[in-house]
Amino acid sequence: MTKFIRARNEGQKQERFEEIKAAGRKIFDEKPYSEITISDIAQKLSWSRANLYKYVSTKEEIYLMICEEAREKYYNELKASYPVGCAYSEEVFAEIWSRIIADHSEYLRYYHLLSVFEENVSMEKLVEYKRAFYSDTDDIITIFSKNLALRFVSSQNLLHAVHYQAMGMYNAIVENRKIKEEMELLGYILPDMDFKRDLKEFILIYLSAEKQK
C-alpha cells in the first residue's frame, strides 16, 4: 500500500474511502469478521490507526459502506438486465435473476452480517444507508410489478423471499463448507445442490404462488 497522504479535496477523500474499502474486503476474505480489528485494516493500508480514524469511526462503518456498494452493484445489474417493459418469460426472468444473484454473492456475505454492522454505526450513517436501501428497493419492486403483472405487495414479497432464500442457500451450499464435512463424518449424504439452479426453481415456485393470490 502507498504511504498515507491526507485528502485535500473531495476527490482525494473518495480515493481514501476506496482504499479503505479495498483493504476491508481483502481482510474479510482472510479471516472471520469477529476476528477483524480496526488495527488489521490500518495495517493492511500501511496507515496508523490515528490516520484511519480521520475517515471512519469503527470497523462496522467500513463494512456498512462495503455492503452498500455491493448492493448497488447487484441492483444496478438487475435493473439493467430487467428494465421496465421487459417481456421476458417467467422462465427467462428466473434464469437471469438467479444468475445475477450468483454473480453478486459478495452482497449476500455482507448482508448476512448487517445487523452486526448496524450495532456500532452512528445514527446519521445508518439513516443514510437505510434511505438509499429503501429507495432503490422500491425501484426494483416497481419494475417487478410492471413486468410481471403483480401487485406491489406481491412483488415486495417476491423480492424479500428470494433474497432471504438466497442468503440461506449460499451459506449452506457455498460459504459454509464445514456443513458438508460434518455430514460426511456423520455418514449422511447431502442431496445434490446447485446454488443457481435451485434458486431459479425457488423463484419460479414463489412467483407462481404470488400470481395465484
* Spatial separation of the C-alpha atoms in residues 38 and 75, rounded to whole Å: 29
* Spatial separation of the C-alpha atoms in residues 84 and 145, rounded to whole Å: 9
Q: Please give the CATH number for the structural domain made up of 1-56.
A: 1.10.10
* Spatial separation of the C-alpha atoms in residues 117 and 24, rounded to whole Å: 13
Q: Judge residue 34's burial from the number of C-beta atoms within 10 Å of its C-beta, 0-12 exposed, 13-18 middle, 19 or more buried.
A: exposed
For the ranges 2-11, 108-117, 153-162, 180-189, which has the lowest average pLDDT? Answer: 2-11
Domain ranges within the chain, ordered by starting residue: 1-56, 67-211
**Nearest to 129, CA basis, from 151, 156, 111:** 111
**Mean pLDDT, to the nearest integer, of 9-15?**
81
Is pLDDT of 83 > 60? yes
Percent of the chain residues topping a pLDDT of 90: 79
**Nearest to 207, CA basis, from 139, 149, 164, 168:** 149
Q: Give the C-alpha distances (Å, rounded to integers) separating 61 from 69, 112, 128, 194, 208.
A: 13, 15, 12, 33, 39
Residue 7 has what pLDDT?
Answer: 57
Q: For residue 33, what is its C-alpha cell?
A: 469478521
Residue 3 has what pLDDT?
Answer: 57
* Spatial separation of the C-alpha atoms in residues 34 and 145, rounded to whole Å: 39
Going along the chain, which residue ranges are E strands?
Answer: none
User: Positive or negative CA dihedral for 40, 128, 131, 97?
Assistant: negative
Q: Into which CATH architecture does domain 67-211 fall?
A: Orthogonal Bundle (1.10)
Q: Which residues does 60 contact at the CB level (< 8 Å), separation at least 6?
A: 116, 117, 118, 119, 120, 121
Residue 1 has what pLDDT?
Answer: 45
How does pLDDT run across 110-157, given as a tens digit for each residue? 999 999 999 999 999 999 999 999 999 999 999 999 999 999 999 999
Is pLDDT of 26 > 50? yes
* Spatial separation of the C-alpha atoms in residues 32 and 15, rounded to whole Å: 26
Q: Are 206 and 161 in contact (CB under 8 A)?
A: yes
Q: Which residues does 35 contact at the CB level (< 8 Å), separation at least 6?
A: none
